[in-house]
Structures are given as structure tokens and as C-alpha cells.
Amino acid sequence: MYVFLTAFLWLNAQHAFVSCTLTSELQSKIAKVNQEGPYLGLIIPNSFELDPLLNNPGYTASDTIIDVAGRRFRFGAIGDQSVILVMTGLSVINAAITTQLLLSLFSVEGVVHYGIAGNANPSLHIGDVAIPESWAHLALWSWQRYGLGADNTLPLEDNGDYTREFGYIKFADFTSNVTGDSPVDNQLNNIWYQPEEIFPVDGTPEQRQHAFWVPVDSKYYHIAKKLEGLELESCINATTCLSTTPKVELVKRGISQSIYLDNAAYRSFIYNKFEVSPVDMESASVALICLQQRQPFIAIRALSDLAGGGSAESNEADTFLSIAATNSVTVVIEFVKLLSLHSKSWSM
């Protein structure tokens, strides 16, 4: 009875959302495609990551395209798995809006997010495809007043709004041209990393929960392990190749923030503090929405540059963007095929 009531309320909430925001023609079109679902949602940041998938022989497009709220939802299949493709655009905000639209409007059974990313892990290389076990949004901060330190309570910390649990970066640690005996500090002081507030669909409205590291779906991650050893592209042409052979690597953590990270000092700091590998602008946002909506999720990110420079490959992202994008598509197609096979075995 409880399961039935929950499903009934959820369907009515979705109907109310659709009724308020869509024309009757669009509602009818969405209802029709949902009858053919459920689908696997593929969420893609930009066109240079979307186009290689659209042109890949492993993807079969259907004639159905639905445009809603500035987003284009493309329908098709990878192998025998029905998929919806949608491009988010840049940043955690766009990714969150797009993911919520996808899950609110369409019959979706899981989410795969893919694209390129910067790299903070010195043991990985350009062209490698990293699949983290968990993601965090690393740009929600409590910026501490100058003169206060690690032993001082943050504003509103006692109310449960902010926490010192996840640590901080002290700008003074990176001050240059200051002698060891100088009393000079840095007035930027400390930034404390904060978890996101979340409101799960199966929770009580307005009663917040918190999430910092958001794990990907354990079954998806187990399937992704089978991708290790997959052959990936290493050359743009006959004369321009990577110095290492790209590989699929399952890693511990990835982070997102609406910041293009091209700073070696900060890259080293977040790697040493949080043990992160890919750094991007969207994945954690997709992860948080999927956590709230209780949808299985995984992110697959090909590394296009060592954030802040310092690798053997010259020009990095400018040169090897196409290889990273191609490799991300290669991995996501193989992952979807494997997922489809496992889904059949789970349902038997």
C-alpha cells in the first residue's frame, strides 16, 4: 500500500509539473515517448562531446527530438538500449537544471554522464578515461573572517548551516615572496569546504539532509570495472600522438566546480587533500540531482589536460581535446552495451 501511494503521489506531482510548463502538444509528445520507455539518460556537457556520439556507428538515432526549456532531448539507441541524449551547457547550474528536467519529464531508469575533464592526479595522463567512485561539489564555501583560524566556530555553524568537517584551504600557505620570519599573513584567510543541502524525494519536504561525497551506483561501478583494458585513441594524426597509451582507470574521487581550473598549486592541493582525479564543471551537480531523485548514476570523464600544466604534452587541452572527447564516447558506448546485458540478467 505504501509503495502504491508513493508512486501515485509521484506521478501526480510529475503531471502537475508538466501541466504547468508545457503546451498540450508537447505533453502529448512526451506521454507518447514515455510509453516506449524507460530510457537510459545520457547527459553531455557540450557539443564537442555530443557530436562524436551522434556520429559514432554505435549510436542509432530515432526521428524523435523534443525541445523543452532551451534543452533538446534526442532519442535513440546504443545496441538494444533505448537512450535519451541531452546537452547541459557549461557549469553546475546548467547541469542541475538539465538533469532535473530529464528526470521530471521522461521515464528514465538511470543516468550516465560523460565528457572531458581536467586532471589533478599526477599518475594519470591526457587521453586516459577516469571513472570515479564518488563526486563532490567543491565550490560551496564558508569564507572565514581574517584573524580567525581552525579552532574558531564558523558563522551559523552551531545552527547546522556550516561545518568544519571537510577542512579548508589557507591562502597564506600559498603567499609568495615572504620571508620565513615575516609576520605578514594573507587577508584572504581560510575557505572551508561545505556539503550541499539535499531534499530527497523519499524524505520530508523542507527537512534538509547533507551530502559531500556522492557515490555513483555500486552496480554501475562494478560493470565499469570490465572496461579496464579497452583500447582507446592515442593519435590525432600520423604525426601528433600522445606520449602514453590512454587507458580506462577507475579512481577514488572526482570534483566539480563552476571554475575552469588551470592552476598547478590548487591542483596539487586538492589532490593531496581529497585524492581527486578528474576536475570538471558538471558531474557533481548531476550526481546530487540523481541522489535526490534516487536514480542510479555514473560519470565517465576523459582527461584533456593536467590542470595548471606541467605534463609532457605541449598545449594540452588545445591539442588533445578531440582525443579526450573521442575516448569518452568510446567508453560510454561500451559501458551502455555492458549495462544492457547486465540489466537483462538482473531481470531474469
The pLDDT averaged over each successive group of 10 residues in the chain (348 residues) is 42 48 90 96 97 97 96 97 97 97 98 97 95 97 94 96 96 79 78 96 94 98 97 88 93 96 94 97 98 98 87 60 94 97 69
In a domain, 5, yes or no: no
In a domain, 329, yes or no: yes
In a domain, 268, yes or no: yes
**275 in the same domain as 166:** no
Residue 224, class by beta-carbon neighbours within 10 Å (0-12 exposed, 13-18 middle, 19+ buried)?
buried
**302 in the same domain as 212:** yes
pLDDT of residue 11: 46
Q: Grid coordinates standing for 201?
A: 524525494
Last residue of some domain: 175, 194, 213?
194
User: 167: which residues sit within 8 A by CB, 6+ positions away?
Assistant: 192, 193, 273
**154 in the same domain as 260:** no
pTM metric for this prediction: 0.89
**32 in the same domain as 165:** no
Is 84:111 a contact under the CB 8 Å cutoff? no
In a domain, 263, yes or no: yes
C-alpha to C-alpha distances, 34 to 25, 128, 167, 248, nearest whole angstrom: 14, 36, 44, 34
**156 in the same domain as 111:** no
In a domain, 98, yes or no: yes
Please give the backbone phi and psi of residue 143, each rounded to the nearest 5 degrees, phi first: -90, 115
pLDDT of residue 54: 98
pLDDT of residue 68: 95
**172 in the same domain as 31:** no
In a domain, 7, yes or no: no
Last residue of some domain: 194, 227, 259?
194
**235 in the same domain as 212:** yes
**260 in the same domain as 127:** yes
pLDDT of residue 348: 54
Angle at the Cα of 30 from the Cα atoms of 6 and 96, rounded to 5 degrees = 70
Q: Grid coordinates standing for 297?
A: 548514476
- For the chain, what is the domain count? 2
The residue segments making up the domain with residue 146 are 141-194
**146 in the same domain as 132:** no
In a domain, 16, yes or no: no
User: 4: which residues sit within 8 A by CB, 6+ positions away?
Assistant: none
Report the CATH number that the domain containing residue 218 is assigned in CATH.
3.40.50.1580
**242 in the same domain as 123:** yes
Could you give the dihedral angle defined by the CA atoms of residues 88, 91, 92 and 95, in that order, rounded to the nearest 10 degrees? 0
Sign, CA dihedral 140-165-293-281, equals positive
In a domain, 93, yes or no: yes
**232 in the same domain as 178:** no
**132 in the same domain as 69:** yes
